[in-house]
Amino acid sequence: MAIKKTKQSPKNPTAAEKAQGLWLAGLGAVSIAQKRGGEAISGLIAEGHDLQIRAQKLAHEVTSGATEQVKDALAPFQAGFKRNLKKVGEVVQSAIAGTLARLGIPTKADIDELTQRVAALSKQLKAAKAK
């Protein structure tokens, strides 16, 4: 079987022809830059600097807008998460308090109450001794 070669029309260049065109354009740019010397390089540097500043401004605008959108989208979830976290905390505290009570370990409230009773009894004892 013979392979037919077809001519490519100038309107439809092949990928290799496109690549060669890009390569030649790049070489042309380098040649012009060399001919014009420092002036062209300075111009390119200034243009690059301007582009960098514009890109940074755009990136800042996009990220700040996206940050606000994400915050707004997450707000309902955060509120629900906080409510659920509070409920879980209460359940855990209740379970721990129940376990401690079954073990006979006093709570902070129990200890505070006993401390107040001991203080009251101490006052009464001192008053009785003073009489």
Of 101, 97, 77, the residue nearest 89 (C-alpha): 97
One digit per residue, pLDDT tens: the chain, 131 residues? Answer: 455 555 555 577 788 888 888 888 888 887 776 777 767 677 778 888 888 898 888 888 888 777 888 888 888 887 788 888 888 888 888 888 888 778 888 888 888 999 999 999 999 998 888 87
Tell me the whole-structure pTM to 2 decimals: 0.34
- Distance of alpha carbon 45 from alpha carbon 2, whole angstroms: 54
Report CA torsion sign: 40, 45, 50, 52.
Answer: positive
